Each structure stands twice: as structure tokens, then as C-alpha cells.
């Protein structure tokens, strides 16, 4: 266990880090030595027992909890059916409420002494107060069933967020009230406990023949309606695009220094922190595979550089050189992210829909495609509460502020509207056709931005601002509300924020930005990032070379 793991566990374990044994779960692989952990979130702080796991995807943990629950019900001969299993979403099962007591007994028998938990959704702060199934006295019509997965450091990797949900559906009687939509149903129909899934809230009596669907490796009975494509379900291919630079590469540094002639650019345009690599890309790819493995293909855009750990033979990743995407390769080399981002839509083979990520952006919770691209094809962008600032571009404006103001100028000219807010640092959903159209409408601005070797007050921030607002005003994007966390690793409070993230895992995405590296010793800064990322994403992804 690392020093970080020991320190964090002392924050939330009983007995200051004493480990407690957890027997292996029935019908499962033998468990490694386990530890007591605290549930994340607010509420009671009763310790939960868990077991270390080695997994690649969050979905594996969700399907493991589903498989365990199904096996327990099947062994007891209890009829059950799958209600819903959205991509990277909760696994929902249902039983007849008349079988509730028998089902609870079956779950207790299957669990034995193993640490299998039940969170009763009717209980206050249910996500924070699960109890062992052996002790559970659920009062609600929906139970979350799960085991706690731990990292090698004994930190919580997944718990109730990957639970299998077991719903108790009730049979109608002559006295049953109509549903909220005034739907009528025959006596003996099965009703869901509220409007809790995407598909249906009633299995009509005499019409409830079930079909079969495979989830993970299990064929499960399910209503036939679930076998169609749900209207809000995104199924189009969505790529991921990264830009990356190794700022310590001697050849790259020599090229950058040769280009850094005197000029009137802002000091932050050449700040060393813009080009430093703390191996964030390795961990961002781990986060992608763990939380968003539905990504179609990954494109890594670099200046002829390849991370030494990258598995170049991986069929789902392609390294793209700047020379292959710049409309005018004569402007190269460039050391300006705005310039590179203005050319990403030239990637040969890029899908219409993609997520653009800086290497310091991570997925930190299970991601659904619909959070980024709606089934209609509309992209979703994330406005920030931070405003751009008033007035025209000033010499004192940071490159970020200047680019935001340029976006405002362009939108006022093209659409007669004013942009006031920045966007959050998170995966940016893009449409290739929108970027192409913008370049056609703004050829001079794109050419000027792509030729700016360092960040310039005349730059357009295409992928981080302009494309999203332009798509919005032309009816091709809508605002969303991701839980996004931004941490400046040079800030004195960064350590506390990262510790809280490790324990709570309560954000959808995270950006570890470094805007003022000189404020913190480089060694301390690198250690801070490495300790956090290796603890949050401890398992190598398939994008890495085998060790």
C-alpha cells in the first residue's frame, strides 16, 4: 500500500486503519485480503467491508452485482425479469412483491458471511447508509444490492453506484388506483414502483410474455419492448480526440526555443506549465476505458511524439501527426493549443461525433453517451458560471479570456447574439460538420489561428468555445449539466480537494489543470498528481504496453 493509501484510510476507517477480513463471495472468484472502508457521501459513517478487485471497466462491477443477484434468485426458484440495463447505467431487476420475503431470505442465504450490502431507497440518505443483507430490514419497493470493490490501496472503487437494483412490482386488484397517466389495466397486472425505468411501468395480465436478453454473460427474461432501440438512446459512433505534448523532449524543446522569438504575446502563452506532462494522458485513457468504454475510436494528435508506454498496435487508437491535419503544413511547428484544435476536423477517418479531451481531463464516474450526444445527433455542452468579461480584447487579457471575447465577436457577427459565459473544463462533444462549416465561413480567422505559433490575442478557441455556441445558435447543440470538478494542482488547497475526490468519487469529470506552476515546487507538484492519479486509476488500460 502506498503512503497516500495509508494516509487516506486513516481519515475514514475505524480503529485507524485496521483491516477486517471478508470471506469470499458465493459463486465468485476467491477474494483477496480486504479492508473496512467508509461509504462515500454524507450521512452515517458506518464502515463497509470490501475486497480488492482487478477490473478494466466499471461495467464489469455493475454486471458482477447483477450476476450475483440473479444467481441468488435463480437458486431459490424466484421468478425475476430484467427491467432495464442502459449502456453504462444501472442494472434493474424486478420480482413480484409477493415474493419479497422469500427473495430477501434467498439473498441472505447466498451471501452467507460475505459482505453483500443492501441500500433501501426509502431510507434517508440510502446511498450513504447501506447495511449487510443479513441485517437488512428493507421497507421500500426498491433495493440496491452490491459488494464494495476496493483498489489495491484499500480505497473504494465502486459501491452503491454499481449496485443491482431489485424492484418489487405489485399485482393490481379491483381497488388499485389508475397510474398517473390515467392508464387502465386488467386485474392481476404487475405495476412498477413508480416511474423508475425507460420502458414500461406495467406488465398487463395475460399479455406479459417475456423474451430473453443477454446482459454481460447472462440471458435474462425481459419484456419484449426492451428489445427495441429506445428513442432517447444514442447509438451513433462517438470518437475521442486527444492532443498531447511531451514538453521535456529535447528535440521539441529546441524547436520551441527556436520559435520563441520576441513578441507582444501574453506571458502565459509560453508558460512552461502549458507543456508539462505528468503522465496525465495514461490515466485519462484509463478513465476512458473504465468509465466510458463505449467510445468508438481514440485519436491522439501529437507533434511527431509517441508516449513510450502507449500500445501503438491497439486497434482502437491512432496517433496523428500535426502534418497530417494542418491545412497549411508550412505554418508548423506550432506550440499553441488553439492552433492545433482549429485543425482537428481534418483528421482522416474521424467520426461525425467526437469528444475532445485535453490530457488532463478524466472521466470520474460512469458516463452515458447521452450525456454528450443526444439520440437526435445534438451535442451537449457545459456552460460555466464564470463569465468571459466585458469589452474588447485587451493586452492584459489572458489567452483564455481573449479567446472567449473573440468567440463573442464572431457570434455577434454571424448570429446577432452575445456570449457571456465560459465553458467548463470537461470532455467537449463536437460535430465534424460544424467545425468544417465554421472554417468555411471564417477562413481568414481559422488561417490566422492555425498559423499562430504561440497563443495570440487574435486566436479563436474553436473546440472549447466557438464550436459549441455556434452549434447552439444553429440548432445543433444544447446546454447540459455535468458534475464537473476543476482542480488547479498548484493551488495550496489542491491536496485537500484531491483527497476528498478519492474518498467520495462524486463528480462526473475532473480536470487537473496547472496554471501557475511556479507557485509550487515541480517535484512536489509531480508527486501530488502521480499519487492521486495512480490511486484513482490503479489498473492499466489496454491502451498501455504490457508490462
Residue 148 β-bridge partners: 50
Query: Tell me, what's the pLDDT at 40?
Result: 44
397 closest CA partner among 204, 264, 254: 264
Q: What is the pLDDT of residues 427-437, one digit of tens each?
A: 999 999 999 99
Compute the distance between CA of residue 273 and CA of residue 520 in angstroms, rounded to an integer.
Answer: 11
Compute the distance between CA of residue 179 and CA of residue 182 in angstroms, rounded to an integer.
Answer: 5
Distances (CA, A) of 523 to 5, 513, 526, 529, 530: 20, 16, 5, 10, 11
6 — phi, psi (to 5°)?
Answer: -65, -45
107 closest CA partner among 66, 131, 71: 71
> All 3 cell numbers of residue 530?
502521480
Compute the distance between CA of residue 194 and CA of residue 183 in angstroms, rounded to an integer.
Answer: 13
DSSP state, residue 19: -
Query: Tell me, what's the pLDDT at 5?
Result: 54
Query: Tell me, what's the pLDDT at 355?
Result: 98
Q: Using only C-alpha atoms, what is the Rg of the chain? A: 26
Query: Tell me, what's the pLDDT at 101?
Result: 97
Q: Who contacts 34 (Cβ-Cβ below 8 Å, separation ≥6)?
A: 19, 20, 21, 22, 49, 50, 51, 52, 115, 150
Q: What is the pLDDT of residues 184-212, one digit of tens each?
A: 677 888 989 987 888 888 888 766 678 88
Query: Tell me, what's the pLDDT at 218?
Result: 83
Number of H-type helices and E-type strands within the chain: 12, 25
Query: Alpha helix locations (H) across 360-466?
Result: 399-415, 432-441, 443-451
Query: Tell me, what's the pLDDT at 45?
Result: 45
pTM comes to 0.88
Query: Tell me, what's the pLDDT at 200?
Result: 87
Distances (CA, A) of 374 to 226, 234, 380, 485, 526: 19, 6, 7, 23, 38
Distances (CA, A) of 127 to 38, 131, 137, 205, 484: 12, 10, 16, 34, 20
Cis, bond preceding 333 (omega within 30 deg of 0): yes
Query: Alpha helix locations (H) across 342-416?
Result: 399-415
Compute the distance between CA of residue 97 and CA of residue 370 in angstroms, rounded to an integer.
Answer: 32
Place of cell 465534424: 432
Share of the chain above pLDDT 70, in %: 84
Ordered domains of the chain (ranges, CATH)? 3-227 (no CATH), 238-483 (3.90.550)
Q: Give the relative orientation of helices 494-504 and 3-12 as an angle to the nearest 10 degrees.
A: 70
Q: Within the chain, which residues score under 70 in pLDDT?
A: 1-46, 122-128, 175-184, 206-208, 261-277, 515-520
Query: Tell me, what's the pLDDT at 534?
Result: 94
Phi/psi-derived region of residue 487, left when phi > 0, alpha when psi is between -120 and 50, beta in every other case: beta
353-358/428-431 β-pairing: antiparallel
Phi/psi-derived region of residue 139, left when phi > 0, alpha when psi is between -120 and 50, beta in every other case: alpha
484-488/353-358 β-pairing: unpaired
Instruction: Tell me if 224 sits within 8 A of 203, measured CB to CB.
Output: no
362 — phi, psi (to 5°)?
Answer: -130, 145
Instruction: Tell me if 190 sits within 8 A of 95, measured CB to CB.
Output: no
Residue 504: in which H helix or E strand, if any?
Answer: helix 494-504
384 — phi, psi (to 5°)?
Answer: -100, 160
Residue 171 β-bridge partners: 190
Amino acid at each position: 500500500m502506498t503512503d497516500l493509501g495509508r494516509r487516506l484510510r486513516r481519515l475514514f476507517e475505524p480503529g485507524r486503519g485496521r483491516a477486517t477480513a471478508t470471506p469470499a463471495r458465493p459463486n465468485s472468484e476467491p477474494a483477496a485480503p480486504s479492508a473496512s472502508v467508509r461509504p462515500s457521501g454524507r450521512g452515517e459513517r458506518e464502515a463497509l467491508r470490501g475486497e480488492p478487485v482487478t477490473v478494466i471497466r466499471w461495467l464489469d462491477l455493475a454486471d458482477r452485482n447483477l450476476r450475483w443477484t440473479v444467481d441468488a434468485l435463480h437458486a431459490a426458484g424466484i421468478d425475476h425479469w430484467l427491467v432495464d440495463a442502459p449502456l453504462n447505467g444501472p442494472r434493474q431487476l424486478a420480482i413480484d412483491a409477493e415474493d419479497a420475503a422469500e427473495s430477501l431470505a434467498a439473498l441472505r442465504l447466498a451471501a452467507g458471511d460475505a459482505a453483500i450490502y443492501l441500500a433501501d431507497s426509502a431510507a434517508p440518505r440510502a446511498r450513504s447508509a447501506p447495511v449487510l443483507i443479513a441485517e437488512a430490514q428493507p421497507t421500500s419497493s426498491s433495493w440496491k444490492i452490491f459488494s464494495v470493490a476496493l483498489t489495491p490501496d484499500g480505497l473504494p472503487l465502486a459501491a452503491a453506484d454499481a449496485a443491482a437494483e431489485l424492484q418489487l412490482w405489485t399485482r393490481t386488484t379491483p381497488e388499485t388506483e389508475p397510474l398517473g397517466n390515467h392508464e387502465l389495466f386488467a386485474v392481476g397486472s404487475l405495476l412498477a414502483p413508480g416511474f423508475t425505468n425507460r420502458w414500461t411501468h406495467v406488465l398487463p395480465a395475460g399479455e406479459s410474455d417475456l423474451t430473453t436478453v443477454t446482459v454481460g454473460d447472462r440471458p435474462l427474461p425481459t419484456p419484449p419492448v426492451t428489445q427495441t432501440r429506445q428513442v432517447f438512446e444514442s447509438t451513433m459512433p462517438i470518437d475521442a480526440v486527444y492532443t498531447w505534448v511531451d514538453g521535456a523532449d529535447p528535440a521539441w524543446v529546441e524547436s520551441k526555443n527556436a520559435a520563441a522569438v520576441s513578441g507582444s504575446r501574453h506571458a502565459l502563452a509560453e508558460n512552461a506549465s502549458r507543456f508539462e506532462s505528468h503522465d496525465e494522458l495514461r490515466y485519462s485513457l484509463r478513465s476512458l476505458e473504465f468509465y466510458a468504454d463505449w467510445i468508438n475510436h481514440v485519436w491522439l494528435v501529437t507533434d511527431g511524439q509517441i508516449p513510450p508506454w502507449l500500445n501503438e498496435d491497439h486497434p482502437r487508437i491512432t496517433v496523428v501527426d500535426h502534418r497530417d491535419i494542418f491545412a497549411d503544413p508550412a505554418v508548423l511547428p506550432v506550440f499553441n493549443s488553439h492552433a492545433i484544435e482549429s485543425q482537428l476536423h481534418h483528421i482522416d477517418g474521424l467520426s461525425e461525433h467526437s469528444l475532445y479531451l485535453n490530457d488532463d481531463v478524466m472521466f470520474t464516474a460512469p458516463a452515458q453517451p447521452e450525456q454528450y450526444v443526444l439520440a437526435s445527433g445534438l451535442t451537449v455542452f457545459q456552460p460555466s458560471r464564470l463569465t468571459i468579461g466585458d469589452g474588447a480584447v485587451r493586452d492584459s487579457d489572458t489567452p483564455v479570456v481573449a479567446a472567449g471575447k473573440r468567440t463573442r465577436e464572431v457570434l455577434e457577427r454571424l448570429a446577432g447574439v452575445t456570449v457571456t459565459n465560459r465553458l467548463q473544463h470537461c470532455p467537449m462533444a463536437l460535430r465534424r460538420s460544424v467545425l468544417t462549416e465554421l472554417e468555411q465561413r471564417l477562413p481568414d480567422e481559422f488561417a490566422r489561428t492555425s498559423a499562430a505559433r504561440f497563443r495570440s490575442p487574435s486566436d479563436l478557441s474553436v473546440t472549447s468555445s466557438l464550436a459549441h455556441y455556434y452549434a447552439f445558435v444553429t440548432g445543433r447543440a444544447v446546454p447540459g449539466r455535468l458534475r464537473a470538478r476543476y482542480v488547479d494542482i498548484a493551488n495550496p488547497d489542491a491536496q485537500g480537494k484531491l483527497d476528498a475526490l478519492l474518498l467520495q468519487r462524486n463528480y462526473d469529470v475532473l480536470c487537473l489543470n496547472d496554471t501557475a506552476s511556479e507557485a509550487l515546487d515541480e517535484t512536489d507538484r509531480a508527486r501530488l498528481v502521480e499519487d492521486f492519479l495512480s490511486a484513482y486509476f490503479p489498473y492499466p488500460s489496454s491502451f498501455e504496453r504490457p508490462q
